């Protein structure tokens, strides 16, 4: 039912479900601006509740059927308790359709004509357009058998609602416009309504005659109503609120002179003005100060109610505005004819939207003291919101303490959130920015916002995250940035805040308290947000070092699944470039580029191989299971259908540019599907490509043994969506007419096997490229133009290389050609002429893509430090060079609007390339390796190895944030730093591939070549260096006097590891045979030999040794193969006996074995062994932080502490004591130092 506002559609709702035999009616009302119903998130669950409710009018048959319905609903909830949080489609199917099916099955024999009616009222008042579309599509998708379900939707004739029905041409529906209902029918309905309400008034007031108010008065009131039910409703409420004065109030209304010709709202305006005037008629008796107070209260309370974005209770409104409950209730009591409120905790709502429009329009509400200036009201509400936020916002609002707690953690229930975020605080958190924008930004509130964001930005984002509104928070800051004037400090801060929130969105949205941990630590040092929030770090975080100085152009980093590495199209941009679909381990994730978070997760039980958005962004096509395509409706957020191609693999999929068709191809057949109906429109099999009898007669050599097939590498759809281009195995390009399902025309290829590019141009031509020949086929006029590429080498000799590689621009006007993947030539496809300048690279590139507007190209180079290079096509200038992970391998893709560039490797990175307009070359990427913390944790030693420059040995002083860099000609294999931080030992191969050991004095940076390539170890005092020689002897070198002190003899094979005891008195060693020896180096005495235990494999390839602090125990780990668990032994040095055996998983780090200071705990890579299990339990507070790349979480005692950025998977790191150092892809180091006791409190362990 389509209707104009206030014409009584809601009063038609009861009659819509009456008058039919045995109708099971259910009504759900949406309401703009009223929270849950506004978003329609509980629509189908509410309908299910109505269906499950027993009705007094039910017959015995329907009662029995209703029990069956309740049982079906109960079973659905038992099988899937989370259905209330799942998609609309699942809710509709499980909570509505299936229970109703059981209901009608029970009634089939006794009452076959019974049907169900669902009424959805005021659908247009849903604030979210996607909700409107989703509701209509969901309900239209699946109907009950025998058409026993009827759905009535009332709505104003909004374009969106009408288009949604016209778009779904398969919906069986009829429309009724209430505007076409005759006036006498409407007046009759209004008369019945007024009679009913006047009867109730007469019952409550003695002295009124039975025919009151009389036929003349009733007719006059009907004329005043003008077909508007809201006028009649307001009038009745006005008369009912004081029955003793009903007659006098009615007479006042009847005596009011209404001007004619002023529009349909004139009578309603008069009614509202009468109500307001009567409510405040005693103001003249008040003193001036009382009048002023009364006016201020009216403006504050009524103004707030008029501009509020949600319906608040009187109690919540009092907390927000700081106006007493008494004053609010007093005003509401006066205005109960136009404002509904049934109790201090019940929502305050306007009787109708027209009152808001009236009271906020100074030309309609002619009494100035009663009119509401909405701009002023918004400003006042903004001030109220900001005051509430300034008082209540703080770190860890819900008092959870645990830094790793997730938003969906059971500990974070509604009660916990309500305790930390009362309703008035929730309102202020969600809507302060709206009131700021609508009230206008002036100098005063500009300063207030500046102060608020610098102090409370992180607190506010945390609050929005707990309320599951992180995307809205990013949008709010983005909108504020757009509203502010250029180059103000606040605008710059908002830009930085937007960058901060998008880059950390995937972490904060799921784990809100990480905004004070991960987000602060891993954002750039010079970030304005980080500088303003430096004191917001948690109490357990003593010190941290950010690895970056400034924000780079990366917008978003998305983790990539192991399935995506083999997928042909692992990501897809939506047509408006606002979303990215990415293949994940669990299926497919859809990410918002604007907020940096995942907005939809599509769980798939099978491997997804390709993603593709439809041209309007409504659908996402997923190729799964080799021979099926799933269409996901991004609006309704449900899977629309599955398009199956049994028996044939689907190799490529394309949407037609107009979005009406989906085309899939395999070697055996081509399918064309209609998107709206999800039906197979046309199938073209390879058999239909076989030669005709006439062709066989002309060419006797052709025979049936040479079966035809499609070349799946080539499939294109023309820009007008009328033609499909394919290439068959006989090297013929064929154009197929979609509408007539027939062959339009064809052209043979001259060079068999050398088709390199095929595509449609913007001017309706098909471009075919073979070797150096470019064919432009105007398929409308069937004319062909051929050009030859004029590509010249540096000596200006024409290049005729048959193995050229070609790429065609999206508009078909430019052809990029490479001869050796080094030089790139750009040519005009019409003339074949090459542009003046070629693109030359010192290293080869491995992939290329054009921007959608054909003005830029991006090249991915993989040699000598990987990088992505951007070029301007017209000038061929290098716009920018972006380094990527040198150990990665991927491809590049422009967003449709050309503002972003995606790189898909081990992870997906999205860069902002909209502002790249100058030539720049950045330092090529390198990777940090061999990262090592010094014993005292004040230094971080690491190497930066590059193929084009000398290797850098870096020593970072984390206290002063300064680095000492030493250049070396070694390719490092092993690094160590002395305990006093003065010496570095480096082992590796030089340029001649000769293995060497260099000892560096950090201050002097000069190397001392040590005649050894075996194991080494610094003593605890840093005075000695133990060196294992090729003669299987151990020599003790005095670093101060540069001489050998002693030689230890006893091993008969290569020594793998050396270790000094804490007081330098002993040296422990392990050889490849697994023998462990302990020496007194001063006397060269061998004190103990611990042989390898029987059954453990040889040779030993990975070992580690640790002494207890009192030197009474020695622990060692022997590993046979990397990746396998090692064998661990604990030896008693006083008795020389084996105390305990254990297993220890290997780790890439060299130093994972340690004792606690008190000797009670022995720590390995993933476990802590209590050596006194029968003693009173206590926590090993000295345990280091642990990090595994599986989920990017840093843990302590198994509990989540810090979430690393998504591209830091398996980053080089070292954890020792209460410190952790991590090397990034960006050639920098992050450092963390924590307080174990404070972290213990935060984690509650």
| 337 torsion bin: left (phi>0), alpha (psi -120 to 50), beta (else) | alpha
Task: State pTM to two decimals.
Answer: 0.83
Structure tokens at 338: 């136009």
Report how far Cα 151 is from the mean position of its chain's Cα atoms: 35
| Candidate CATH numbers 3.40.50, 2.20.25, 1.10.150, 3.10.20; the one for domain 750-833 | 2.20.25
* 8 Å CB contact between 728 and 746: no
The more confident residue out of 299 and 177 is: 299
C-beta atoms surrounding 383 within 10 Å = 18
DSSP code, position 347: B
Q: Give the span between the Cα atoms of 30 and 894, in whole angstroms.
A: 41
Residue range 857-876: mean pLDDT, rounded = 79
Structure tokens at 291: 């009048």
Report how far Cα 1166 is from the mean position of its chain's Cα atoms: 31
Beta bridge partners of residue 633, listed in sequence order: 619, 638
* 8 Å CB contact between 1218 and 1234: yes
Q: Which residues contact 753 (CB under 8 A, 6 or more apart)?
A: 731
Q: Give the span between the Cα atoms of 944 and 925, in whole angstroms.
A: 10
The angle that helices 288-307 and 374-392 make with each other, rounded to 10 degrees, is 80
Give the torsion through C-alpha atoms of 79, 82, 85, 91, to 10 deg: 0
Collapse the DSSP code of 192 into the 3-class scheme (helix H, G, I; strand E, B; otherwise coil) and give the result: helix
What's the confidence (pLDDT) of residue 845? 80
Q: Give the span between the Cα atoms of 849 and 858, in whole angstroms.
A: 5
Q: Which of 336, 378, 372, 335 is nearest to 357 (CA)?
A: 372
What's the confidence (pLDDT) of residue 36? 45
Q: Give the span between the Cα atoms of 1136 and 1089, in whole angstroms.
A: 8
The H-or-E segment that residue 715 falls in is strand 710-717
Q: Which of 72, 91, 147, 77 is nearest to 116 (CA)?
A: 147
Q: Where are the domains of the chain?
A: 10-180, 183-255, 340-553, 750-833
Beta bridge partners of residue 541, listed in sequence order: 1234
Structure tokens at 911: 């860069």
C-beta atoms surrounding 268 within 10 Å = 26
Structure tokens at 265: 């709202």
C-beta atoms surrounding 227 within 10 Å = 20
Structure tokens at 1081: 């180096």
Q: Give the span between the Cα atoms of 835 and 816, in whole angstroms.
A: 10
First-to-last C-alpha distance (Å) of the chain: 61
Structure tokens at 1056: 């793998």
Confidence of residue 17 (pLDDT cuts 50, 70, 90): very low
| 1076 torsion bin: left (phi>0), alpha (psi -120 to 50), beta (else) | beta
Give me the residue label for tokens 């052809």: 815
Q: Give the span between the Cα atoms of 233 and 589, in whole angstroms.
A: 49
Collapse the DSSP code of 911 into the 3-class scheme (helix H, G, I; strand E, B; otherwise coil) and give the result: strand
Q: Give the span between the Cα atoms of 805 and 926, in whole angstroms.
A: 29
Residue range 632-650: mean pLDDT, rounded = 82
Q: Give the span between the Cα atoms of 886 and 866, in whole angstroms.
A: 5
The more confident residue out of 925 and 938 is: 938
What's the confidence (pLDDT) of residue 14? 47
Q: Give the span between the Cα atoms of 496 and 498, in whole angstroms.
A: 5
Q: Annotate 424-452 with DSSP letters as a single string.
A: HHHHHHHHHHHHHHHH---HHHHHHHHHH
Q: Which of 885, 852, 884, 869 is nearest to 919 (CA)?
A: 869
Report how far Cα 784 is from the mean position of its chain's Cα atoms: 48
Beta bridge partners of residue 579, listed in sequence order: 592
Q: Give the span between the Cα atoms of 269 and 195, in whole angstroms.
A: 23
Confidence of residue 137 (pLDDT cuts 50, 70, 90): confident
Q: Give the span between the Cα atoms of 586 and 50, in whole angstroms.
A: 36
Q: Give the span between the Cα atoms of 928 and 950, in whole angstroms.
A: 14
What sign does the CA torsion over 431, 434, 440, 442 have? Answer: positive
Least reliable range by pLDDT among 644-653, 998-1007, 1210-1219:
644-653
Residue range 1167-1172: mean pLDDT, rounded = 90
* 8 Å CB contact between 925 and 1227: yes
**Do the strands 891-894 and 900-904 form a parallel or antiparallel pair, or are they unpaired?**
antiparallel
Give me the residue label for tokens 């991006």: 858
Q: Compute φ and ψ for 837, nearest 5 degrees.
A: -115, 140
Least reliable range by pLDDT among 467-476, 719-728, 848-857, 884-893:
884-893
What 823-828 contacts at long range (C-beta under 8 Å, 24+ apart), as own/partner pairs, is 824/848, 824/857, 824/859, 825/789, 825/791, 826/873, 826/876, 827/774, 827/789, 827/790, 827/791
What's the confidence (pLDDT) of residue 740? 93
Least reliable range by pLDDT among 680-684, 767-771, 807-811, 1001-1005:
767-771
Which of 706-720, 841-855, 862-876, 930-944 has the highest average model confidence (pLDDT)?
930-944
- Tell me the chain's radius of gyration from C-alpha atoms: 39
Question: 492-545, pLDDT tens digit by residue?
Answer: 999 999 999 999 999 999 999 999 999 999 999 999 999 999 999 999 999 999
Q: Give the span between the Cα atoms of 1078 and 1060, in whole angstroms.
A: 10
Q: Across all residues in the chain, what is the average pLDDT?
A: 84
Give me the residue label for tokens 């937007």: 498
What's the confidence (pLDDT) of residue 1020? 95
The more confident residue out of 594 and 560 is: 594
DSSP code, position 367: -
Collapse the DSSP code of 494 into the 3-class scheme (helix H, G, I; strand E, B; otherwise coil) and give the result: helix
Q: Which residues contact 336 (CB under 8 A, 6 or more apart)?
A: 237, 241
pLDDT at 22 over 70: no
What sign does the CA torsion over 203, 204, 207, 208 have? Answer: negative
Q: Give the span between the Cα atoms of 958 and 1153, in whole angstroms.
A: 24
Peptide bond into 1126 cis (omega under 30): no
* 8 Å CB contact between 611 and 581: yes
What's the confidence (pLDDT) of residue 902? 93
DSSP code, position 92: I
What 635-638 contacts at long range (C-beta under 8 Å, 24+ apart), as own/partner pairs, is 635/130, 635/133, 635/134, 635/137, 636/87, 636/88, 636/89, 636/130, 636/133, 636/134, 636/137, 636/138, 637/87, 637/88, 637/134, 637/600, 638/87, 638/88, 638/89, 638/90, 638/134, 638/138
Which of 24-33, 122-131, 214-223, 364-373 has the highest average model confidence (pLDDT)?
364-373
Question: 1113-1128, pLDDT tens digit by residue?
Answer: 999 988 876 556 788 9
**Do the strands 115-121 and 23-29 form a parallel or antiparallel pair, or are they unpaired?**
parallel
Q: Give the span between the Cα atoms of 1220 and 1231, in whole angstroms.
A: 6
pLDDT at 253 over 90: no
* 8 Å CB contact between 119 and 50: no
Q: Give the span between the Cα atoms of 926 and 923, in whole angstroms.
A: 9
Confidence of residue 572 (pLDDT cuts 50, 70, 90): very high
C-beta atoms surrounding 1170 within 10 Å = 14
Collapse the DSSP code of 1031 into the 3-class scheme (helix H, G, I; strand E, B; otherwise coil) and give the result: coil
CA distances from 340 to 315, 329, 348, 511, 728 (A): 15, 11, 6, 40, 72
What's the confidence (pLDDT) of residue 865? 56
CA distances from 684 to 647, 654, 667, 960, 1118 (A): 15, 15, 11, 71, 64
Q: Which of 1022, 988, 1020 is nearest to 1002 (CA)?
A: 1022
The more confident residue out of 807 and 184 is: 807
């Amino acid at each position: 039912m389509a209707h104009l506002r206030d014409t009584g559609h809601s009063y038609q709702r009861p009659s819509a479900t009456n008058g039919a035999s045995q109708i099971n009616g259910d009504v759900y009302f949406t309401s703009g601006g009223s929270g849950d119903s506004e978003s329609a998130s509980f629509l189908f669950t509410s309908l299910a509740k109505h269906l499950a409710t027993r009705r007094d009018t039910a017959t015995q048959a329907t009662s029995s059927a209703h029990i069956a319905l309740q049982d079906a609903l109960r079973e659905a909830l038992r099988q899937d308790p989370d259905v209330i949080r799942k998609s609309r489609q699942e809710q509709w199917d499980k909570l509505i359709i299936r229970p109703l099916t059981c209901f009608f099955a029970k009634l089939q024999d006794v009452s076959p004509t019974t049907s169900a009616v669902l009424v959805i009222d005021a659908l247009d008042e849903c604030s979210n357009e996607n909700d409107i579309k989703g509701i209509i599509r969901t309900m239209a998708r699946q109907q009950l058998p025998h058409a026993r379900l009827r759905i009535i939707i009332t709505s104003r004739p909004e374009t969106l609602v009408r288009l949604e029905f016209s778009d779904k041409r398969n919906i069986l529906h009829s429309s009724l416009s209430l505007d076409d209902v005759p006036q006498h029918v409407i007046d009759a309905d209004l008369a019945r309504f007024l009679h009913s309400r006047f009867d109730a008034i007469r019952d409550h007031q003695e002295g009124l005659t039975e025919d009151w108010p009389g036929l003349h008065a009733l007719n006059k009131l009907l004329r005043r109503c003008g077909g508007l039910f809201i006028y009649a409703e307001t009038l009745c409420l006005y008369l009912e609120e004081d029955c003793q004065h009903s007659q006098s109030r009615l007479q006042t209304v009847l005596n009011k002179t209404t001007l004619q010709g002023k529009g349909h709202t004139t009578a309603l305006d008069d009614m509202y003005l009468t109500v307001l005037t009567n409510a405040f008629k005693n103001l003249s008796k008040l003193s001036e100060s009382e009048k002023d107070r009364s006016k201020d209260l009216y403006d504050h309370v009524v103004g707030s109610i008029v501009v509020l974005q949600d319906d608040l209770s009187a109690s919540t409104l009092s907390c927000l505005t700081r106006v007493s409950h008494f004053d609010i209730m007093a005003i509401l009591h006066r205005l109960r004819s136009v404002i509904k409120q049934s109790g201090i905790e019940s929502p305050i709502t306007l009787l109708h939207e027209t009152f808001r429009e009236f009271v906020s329009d100074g030309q309609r509400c002619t009494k100035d003291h009663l009119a509401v200036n909405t701009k002023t009201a918004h400003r006042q509400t903004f001030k109220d919101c900001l005051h509430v936020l300034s008082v209540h916002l703080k770190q860890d609002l819900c008092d959870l303490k645990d830094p790793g707690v997730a938003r969906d953690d059971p500990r974070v229930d509604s009660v916990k959130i309500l305790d930390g975020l009362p309703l008035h605080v929730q309102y202020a958190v969600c809507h302060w920015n709206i009131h700021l924008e609508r009230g206008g930004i002036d100098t005063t509130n500009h300063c207030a916002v500046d102060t608020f964001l610098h102090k409370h930005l992180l607190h506010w984002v945390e609050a929005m995250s707990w309320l599951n509104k992180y995307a809205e928070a990013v949008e709010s800051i983005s909108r504020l940035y757009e509203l502010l004037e250029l180059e103000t400090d606040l605008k710059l801060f908002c830009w930085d805040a937007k960058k901060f929130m998008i880059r950390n969105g995937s972490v904060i949205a799921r784990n809100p308290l990480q905004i004070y941990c991960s987000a602060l630590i891993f954002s750039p040092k010079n970030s304005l947000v980080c500088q303003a929030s430096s004191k917001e770090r948690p109490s357990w975080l003593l010190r941290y070092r950010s690895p970056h100085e400034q924000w780079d152009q990366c917008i978003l980093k998305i983790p990539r699944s192991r399935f995506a590495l083999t997928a042909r199209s692992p990501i897809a941009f939506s047509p408006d470039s606002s979303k990215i679909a990415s293949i994940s381990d669990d299926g497919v994730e859809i990410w918002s580029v604007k907020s940096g978070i995942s907005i939809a997760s599509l769980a798939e039980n099978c491997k997804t191989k390709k993603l593709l958005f439809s041209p309007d962004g409504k659908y996402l096509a997923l190729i799964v299971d080799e021979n099926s395509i799933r269409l996901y409706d991004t609006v309704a957020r449900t899977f629309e259908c599955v398009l199956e191609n049994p028996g044939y693999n689907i190799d490529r999929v394309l949407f037609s540019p107009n979005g009406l068709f989906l085309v899939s191809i395999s070697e055996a057949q081509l399918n064309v599907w209609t998107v709206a109906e999800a039906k197979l429109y046309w199938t073209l099999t390879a058999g239909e490509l076989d030669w005709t009898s006439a062709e066989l007669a002309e060419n006797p050599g052709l025979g049936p043994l040479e079966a035809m097939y499609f070349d799946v590498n080539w499939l294109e759809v023309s820009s007008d969506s009328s033609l499909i281009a394919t290439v068959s195995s006989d090297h013929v390009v064929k154009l197929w007419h979609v509408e007539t399902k027939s062959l339009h025309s064809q052209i043979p290829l001259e060079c068999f096997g050398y088709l390199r590019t095929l595509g449609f141009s913007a001017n309706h031509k098909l471009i075919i490229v073979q070797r150096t020949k470019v064919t432009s086929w105007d398929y409308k006029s069937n004319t062909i133009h051929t050009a030859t590429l004029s590509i010249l080498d540096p000596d200006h000799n024409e290049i005729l290389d048959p193995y050229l590689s070609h790429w065609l621009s999206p508009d078909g006007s430019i052809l990029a050609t490479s001869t050796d993947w080094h030089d790139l030539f750009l040519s005009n496809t019409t003339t074949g002429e090459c542009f003046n300048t070629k693109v030359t690279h010192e290293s080869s590139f491995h992939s290329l893509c054009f921007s959608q507007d054909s003005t830029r190209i991006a090249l991915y180079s993989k040699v000598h430090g990987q990088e992505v290079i951007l070029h301007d096509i017209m000038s061929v200038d290098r716009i920018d060079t972006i380094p990527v992970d040198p150990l990665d391998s991927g491809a590049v893709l422009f967003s449709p609007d050309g503002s972003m560039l995606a790189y898909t490797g081990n992870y997906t990175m999205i860069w902002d390339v909209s502002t790249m307009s100058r030539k720049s070359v950045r330092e090529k990427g390198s990777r940090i390796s061999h990262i090592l913390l010094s014993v005292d944790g004040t230094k971080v030693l690491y190497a930066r190895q590059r193929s084009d420059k000398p290797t850098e040995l870096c020593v970072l002083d984390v206290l002063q944030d300064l680095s000492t860099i030493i250049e070396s000609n070694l390719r490092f294999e092993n690094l160590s730093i002395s305990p006093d931080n003065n010496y570095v030992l480096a082992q590796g191969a030089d340029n001649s591939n000769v293995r060497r050991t260099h000892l560096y004095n950090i201050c002097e940076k000069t190397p001392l070549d040590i005649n050894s390539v075996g194991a080494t170890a610094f003593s605890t005092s840093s005075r000695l260096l133990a060196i294992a020689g090729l003669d299987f002897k151990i020599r003790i070198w005095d670093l101060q006097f540069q001489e050998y002190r002693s030689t230890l003899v006893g091993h008969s094979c290569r020594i793998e590891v050396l270790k000094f005891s804490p007081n330098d008195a002993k040296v422990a060693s392990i050889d490849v045979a697994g023998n462990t020896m302990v020496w007194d180096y001063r006397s060269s005495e061998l004190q103990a030999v611990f042989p390898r235990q029987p059954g453990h494999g040889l040779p030993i390839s990975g070992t580690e040794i640790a002494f207890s602090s009192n030197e009474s125990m020695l622990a060692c780990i022997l590993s046979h193969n990397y990746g396998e668990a090692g064998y661990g032994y604990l030896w008693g040095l006083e008795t020389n006996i084996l105390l305990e055996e254990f297993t220890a998983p290997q780790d890439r780090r060299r130093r994972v074995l340690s004792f606690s200071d008190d000797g009670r705990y022995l720590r390995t890579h993933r476990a802590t062994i209590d050596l006194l299990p029968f003693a009173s339990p206590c926590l090993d507070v000295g345990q280091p932080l642990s990090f595994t790349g599986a989920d990017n979480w840093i843990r302590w005692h198994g509990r989540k502490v810090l979430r690393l950025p998504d591209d830091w998977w398996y980053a080089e790191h070292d954890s020792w004591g209460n410190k952790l150092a991590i090397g990034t892809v960006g050639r920098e180091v992050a450092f963390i130092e924590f307080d174990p006791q404070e972290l213990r409190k935060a984690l509650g362990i």
